[in-house]
Amino acid sequence: MESGGFDFHIVFHSIPFLAKGMGLTLLLTVLGIAGGLVFGTVLALARLAPFKVLSFAAGTYVNFFRSMPLILVIFWFYFLVPLVLGQEIGAFQSVLIAFIMFEAAYYCEIMRAGIQSVRVGQAYAGEALGLTYPQNMRYVVLPQAFRNMIPILVSQAIVLFQDTALVYVVGLSDFLYSADIIANSENRLMEMYITVAIVYFALCSWGQFQVRNLQKKFAHE
Partner 1 sequence: MNETKDTTSTDGVGIIQMRHVSKWYGDFQVLANCTTSVDKGEVVVICGPSGSGKSTLIKVINGLEPFQEGTITFNGISVGDRTTNLPKLRSQIGMVFQNFELFPHISIMQNIKLAQMKVLGREDNQARNRSMELLERVGLTDQRDKFPAQLSGGQQQRVAIARGLAMDPMAMLFDEPTSALDPEMINEVLDVMTELAKEGMTMMVVSHEMGFAKRVADRVIFMDQGRIVEDATKDDFFGTPRGDRAQLFLSKILHH
Contacts of partner 1 in 100-119 (CB under 8 A): 119
Interaction between residue 124 and partner 1 (CB under 8 A): yes
Question: In whole angstroms, how close is the CB of 30 to partner 1 at the nearest point?
Answer: 25
Total residues contacting partner 1 by CB under 8 A comes to 19
Can you tell me the distance from the alpha carbon of 40 to that of 34, in angstroms, rounded to the nearest whole number? 10
Q: How far apart are CA 75 and CA 169, in angstroms?
A: 8
Instruction: Please identify which residue in 5, 130, 171, 216 interacts with partner 1, judged by CB under 8 A.
Output: 130
**Binding of partner 1 by 128 (CB under 8 A):** yes
Pick between residue 4 and residue 121 the one whose CB is nearest to partner 1. 121
Shortest spacing between CB 123 and partner 1, in angstroms: 9
Residue with smaller CB distance to partner 1, 116 or 144? 144
**Residue 148 Cβ vs partner 1, minimum distance, rounded to whole Å:** 10
Q: Is residue 16 involved in binding partner 1 (CB under 8 A)?
A: no
Nearer CB in complex with partner 1: 132/184: 132
Using alpha carbons, list the distances in angstroms from residue 212 to 110, 126, 148, 217: 18, 31, 13, 9
Among 19, 129, 159, 197, binds partner 1 (CB under 8 A): 129
Which span sits near partner 1 by CB under 8 A: 19-27, 106-114, 129-137, 170-178? 129-137
Figure out which of the listed residues 55, 122, 155, 210 binds partner 1, where binding follows CB under 8 A. 122
SS (H, E, C) the chain: CCCCCCCCHHHHHCHHHHHHHHHHHHHHHHHHHHHHHHHHHHHHHHHHCCCHHHHHHHHHHHHHHHCCCHHHHHHHHHHHHHHHHCCCCCHHHHHHHHHHHHHHHHHHHHHHHHHHHCCHHHHHHHHHCCCCHHHHHHHHHHHHHHHHHHHHHHHHHHHHHHHHHHHHHHCCCCHHHHHHHHHHHCCCHHHHHHHHHHHHHHHHHHHHHHHHHHHHHHHHC
Position among 84, 121, 171, 219 found at the interface with partner 1 (CB under 8 A):
121
Touching partner 1, residues 131-190 (CB under 8 A) = 131-132, 135, 139-140, 143-144, 147
Name the site residues for partner 1 (rule: CB under 8 A): 119, 121-122, 124-132, 135, 139-140, 143-144, 147, 221
